[in-house]
Amino acid sequence: MVTLRGTAHVPGGTTAAATVRVQVTAPRETNTALDEGVRAGATFTESGYSAEGLRNGITAEKAWSNWKPGTKNPSDTVTFTLPEPRDLTRVVTHFHRDGGNVSFAESLKVQVRGADGTWTDASDSVPIGTEGTPVADVPVRTSGPVTGARVVMTARPGGYITLGEIELRAEAPGTSGDAAAASIEVDGVPIEGFDPDRTDYRVTVDRPGKARITATPRDPYATVTVREDTSRAARIVTVRSEDGAHTRQYRIRPVRS
């Protein structure tokens, strides 16, 4: 957590002291193809299927096909348009075996669209095997955030292609595991000398039974709950981290001054 202090300009020409806390976390990888606003399309799709089915999170289904009677297409492309630029790391293409047919591409290549609208190669040509149900996990080369990605597939001679899913793996802000309190207040007054690593406090007040206990988490995205313990002699402050994986409890015992 980084704290920045400065001055805020208030309408009317006055100023006020201001503090902002910035949470710095390690990035996590997500499948941005599932995000709202993403659009999927293809150069050709067999009737009854849709490129949109390639972004529903289900890999073990026949979501898209380029089969057609007669002469088959030598290549086809599936394109994803992103609602906002993303830091793409890899593209994972899940093929689908259509019965006993080897309905897989012979090779594929990933291309990305930069902020200027230009499409460029983001991978070399990747050969696709024929054993089992292939999954092509392709790291991508980018010079910055991208606004689109497409998978250019070359068919096997006389063959067609069926897919189950395409994942667009991208870096996104991580969630924090910080479950510490920054301060704990009794009747609105911060506990003097509070240490986030010390979890037991005895505080003198005028009315112990009516004391109001509040807390401020060190991570602004963490949650705080306050309850009485079973003896009713203390309050238990629980801080739960943003990622939900960690908690820390503080025992506050108000006593008469």
- Phi, psi angles (nearest 5°) of residue 49: -125, 170
pLDDT exceeds 80 at position 1: no
Residues 121, 131 contacting (CB under 8 angstroms): no
Q: State pLDDT tens for residues 232-252.
A: 789 999 999 999 999 999 999
Q: State pLDDT tens for residues 209-227.
A: 899 999 999 998 999 999 9
The Cβ-side half-sphere exposure at 209, using a 13 Å CA radius, reads: 1
Q: What is the DSSP string of 128-161?
A: ---SSS-EEEEE---SS-EEEEEEEEEEPTT---
Alpha carbons 26 and 98: distance in angstroms, whole number:
40
What pLDDT, on the 0 to 100 scale, is given for residue 3? 82
Q: State pLDDT tens for residues 20-31.
A: 877 777 888 999
- C-alpha distances (whole Å) from 40 to each of 53, 80, 167, 202, 256 are 9, 5, 12, 60, 66
Q: State pLDDT tens for residues 113-153.
A: 999 999 999 999 999 999 999 999 999 999 999 999 999 99
What pLDDT, on the 0 to 100 scale, is given for residue 257? 81
pLDDT exceeds 90 at position 163: yes
What are the strands, taking DSSP E only, across 50-180?
64-65, 75-95, 105-113, 119-121, 126-127, 135-139, 146-155, 162-172
Q: State pLDDT tens for residues 182-208.
A: 999 999 999 999 999 999 999 999 999
Residues 224, 247 contacting (CB under 8 angstroms): no
Q: Looking at 196-237, list the stretches that DSSP marks H as alpha helix, in order from N- to C-terminal side.
A: none
The Cβ-side half-sphere exposure at 187, using a 13 Å CA radius, reads: 12
Residues 7, 16 contacting (CB under 8 angstroms): yes
The DSSP output letter for 191 is P
Max alpha carbon distance in the chain (Å)? Answer: 92
The SS3 call for residue 34 is: helix
Percent of the chain with pLDDT over 70: 100
Domain regions of the chain by residue span: 28-172, 181-256
Q: What fold characterizes domain 181-256?
A: Immunoglobulin-like (2.60.40)
Task: State whether CATH 2.60.120.260 applies to domain 28-172.
Answer: yes
What pLDDT, on the 0 to 100 scale, is given for residue 13? 87
